Structure 1
């Protein structure tokens, strides 16, 4: 910004710098108004962003009341969850049954004979791991359908720890670890999952042999030592239980396909049957309705606060008088005040105890709502989520449609944001032009006062010279 440093025009005592500053400040006043306008627009953008977030929350709450799963919630109960626990999917019919657990599912575990010396190479060849089922007496192994054997190459320098690492990285469905004690090193293997179908078989083929698992590969030398003398420390086993006295089994401790819609989990072997019950869960419906009411009240209260007028101060809030905000509130209120013929018993929210209060908030009469749920849950569901269309469309469906429209890419909030962003761009353009205008004005003033100062300085010097000459003339004439 240009400055003017003269103490006064022609040293005549006029403070030109102060005078210029005052005139520039007056010229700058419209820029201050632009800054105020920018702050207001920015605050409005933030306010509508808050509204959008709350309308989105209302939309989510309405979705739960339009969803089938929101109305089909069930609760499960176990007479002793320390032994048997249970869950059920929405829509499961109310039922009760007893479960007795005879045994839990187990994973197969094996241990090789002790190998000496510790840390020595085992021998070259191939280790094969197969997943499948052991059965019969004597036991025979049947590979699992579609489960190909996994062959692991072992080099002549590989130690037992190297073989364990290769097994763990092979994806063979088995984990390996090393146990060391005074007698040597043992290779410990364990199925990654439980159940009779998750058993495994280890066989080897030493370097130079061609038939893996043959008798030639079960001696007490080289890689064969992993098979020779190995023991099964735990056999693979399914969990065994009875449901109402009928025997059932599962490869895991969870029985997901035994009782329709119910998954029960064996935790411990039982001494006596555990009772499992499934019932409709009205608390889930009540919670969803409470969440919907809270979401609606949150957006209603925000709009009320943003559009209020304080009669004491005579000042309005940020969006007081904003017609689009009032229209938004009206659209939401119309949706919650709508009527549906989708239910033959309940047509309005007020029919089930959800009423609008002074200021627009919703309140829930818990007693009336509980009676509606207990006496006519199906009709209550229809009132909210009927999809028959037209006048029969459920109230939650209508609210969801309203919020979806408001939140869409060409809806209320997008349109409002576009207009406010445009206002910000215009404000910035006006501010840039204003700054340029003020700078140019200040430069012109400085140039003019500098020229005036120079001219006045010359006149002052001339005046002093003339005065001196007059004085000299007066003296000589005397």
Structure 2
């Protein structure tokens, strides 16, 4: 006992160091196990996040390819955009047209005589503006029944040039009044509400000076060429546009021609008689090609990500983070399976990706034969659309599909027309479900056929054949991705399970902390008691040593 030494207090026993060592020896194996589990789960969550991100990007490209109404739109091109421009919607059809813009529609513009300034007094009374058409060399005015006349009262003190301008602009007539300064002074200008000869203005006044047809007072703002009252000067005549489309002459009040060619809007910019402008409505090949290339890129990125996370490296003898995850392996198989399946489209010459030059290599990645793909785009554009998108096809040639909703299920459905008065009334059923019409031409599906609409071009009532609904590859793939990425999808479920395990680890760590505290308290009590015992033993040892040291002296004294 004499050799017992320590840097601690009491007996010198390092109670804290011993307790800490014992506690760590007890909890370290469990702590290391939990740390290892947490690292593994965190790595798996990161890997699943990579897959979800890749699938999300892939789904974005699928949405573009799956909606035939939004993506497979036609495009328009014009040989001279200084004369006109054109745009198309889903009702358009491919075709070529020659257009001659003979005149463009204009507004009528009138101008007053000059005044010293905008505050100059014109005169008071009332102004009445009628809208209509001048004919027979401006000797006849025919009122426009669709445009009401307007009367503007001009009170004394409110009869300056600027006040009359403001009163006209606030009249609700649509006439635009302005004040323009030229070399002779200030003039009031008036513009008809819209273009077209049927909106020419006839302006009559009641002048409080007693004379309504001279050039002074409020009469200076009158315009009625049918009676020779032209106090206002006509600077621009109201005209309709005149356009020849493939030799057919069209006259309209506007410079925007809607559905002169079905599904096409033509905006006229200037007249150029004798010049034929070529308008071409064609398939948007470049948009389709770009979308397919984007799909291939995103698909390959997704498969590359999955391959790297599930593969096994024979050299390093290490597997990917998700090598043992059967769910991810199933995902990979499902992706490959869908792309290899033919689309069940009656009579189509394009049923698989291979038919348009897209094949899968040994690594499961897609490769495109550009020549074969471009040939398919040129010759089978509609078939490519059906390969990717949800499509509807009618067996009756006088039934045209206008749209098909994403929720309509695949299958063959009977179309029955119950009544048909073109442009007046139309009723029928699709797949036995009542369909409605608001224009007497287009039948719209309801319930499970919501989003499906068909146009009846001609024909009688009764059975009108069938409508075939087909899901293309993009639709199928998009549905698969939705199942995986949704809140209740496989990836979300797996992520939730892993996060739950992390929560369990946190709970076990909390329990381990409690255990460490309990062990520390227990060991501290035990070794504190031992320390006290050692102190007592040390004291006894010191006493005995002292007594033994005195033994020789006692013996000598006895001798």
Shared fold by TM > 0.5?
yes
What whole-Å deviation, never above 9, does each CA across 1:346-374 have from its counterpart, x for those lacking one?
44332332211111111111222333344
What whole-Å deviation, never above 9, does each CA across 1:104-161 have from its counterpart, x for those lacking one?
4445666677788778999999999x89656453686957738797999999899998
Pairing partner for 2:278 from 265, 275, 279? 275
CA distance in 1, matches of 2:503, 2:383: 53
Which residue in 1 is equivalent to 2:363?
359
Which residue in 2 is equivalent to 1:262?
264
- The Cα shift of 1:328 comes to 0.9
Which residue in 2 is equivalent to 1:326?
329
Distance 1:473 1:40, change over 3 A: same
CA distance in 1, matches of 2:130, 2:541: 118
CA distance in 1, matches of 2:238, 2:550: 133
Indicate if the aligned counterparts of 1:356 and 1:363 stay in contact, CA closer than 8 A.
yes
Asked if 1:293 corresponds to 2:296, the answer is: yes
CA distance in 2, matches of 1:202, 1:43: 82
Q: 317-326 or 438-447, which moves further after superposition?
A: 438-447
Structure 2 matches for 1:199-218, cutoff 5 A? Answer: 214-216=206-208
Distance 1:466 1:61, change over 3 A: same
Which residue in 1 is equivalent to 2:352?
348
Indicate if the aligned counterparts of 1:76 and 1:279 stay in contact, CA closer than 8 A.
yes
What whole-Å deviation, never above 9, does each CA across 1:75-124 have from its counterpart, x for those lacking one?
43322223222233356333222222234444566667778877899999
Q: 141-150 or 277-286, which moves further after superposition?
A: 141-150
Structure number with greater CO (CA < 8 Å, separation at least 6) is 1
CA distance in 1, matches of 2:492, 2:251: 57
Structure 2 matches for 1:417-428, cutoff 5 A? Answer: 417-428=495-506
Indicate if the aligned counterparts of 2:173 and 2:193 stay in contact, CA closer than 8 A.
no
- The Cα shift of 1:300 comes to 1.2
Distance 1:180 1:39, change over 3 A: farther
Structure 2 matches for 1:42-441, cutoff 5 A? Answer: 42-69=42-69, 72-90=72-90, 92-107=92-107, 133=132, 135=134, 137=138, 142=143, 145=146, 173=174, 194-195=195-196, 214-216=206-208, 234=236, 237-270=239-272, 272-342=275-345, 344=347, 345-385=349-389, 389=411, 395-396=472-473, 397-441=475-519
- The CA RMSD measured in Å over matched residues stands at 5.1
Distance 1:131 1:293, change over 3 A: farther
CA distance in 2, matches of 1:7, 1:124: 116
Distance 1:403 1:122, change over 3 A: farther
Distance 1:372 1:100, change over 3 A: closer
> TM-score, with normalisation over the residues of structure 1?
0.72
Distance 1:333 1:285, change over 3 A: same
Distance 1:376 1:273, change over 3 A: closer
CA distance in 1, matches of 2:155, 2:46: 66
CA distance in 1, matches of 2:125, 2:549: 130
Q: 380-389 or 330-339, which moves further after superposition?
A: 380-389
- The Cα shift of 1:343 comes to 5.1
CA distance in 2, matches of 1:307, 1:468: 78
Q: State the number of aligned residues.
A: 460
CA distance in 1, matches of 2:130, 2:7: 100
Distance 1:426 1:139, change over 3 A: farther
Which residue in 2 is equivalent to 1:206?
none
Partner SS for 1:10 = coil
Q: Which structure carries more strand by proportion?
A: 2
Asked if 1:8 corresponds to 2:8, the answer is: yes
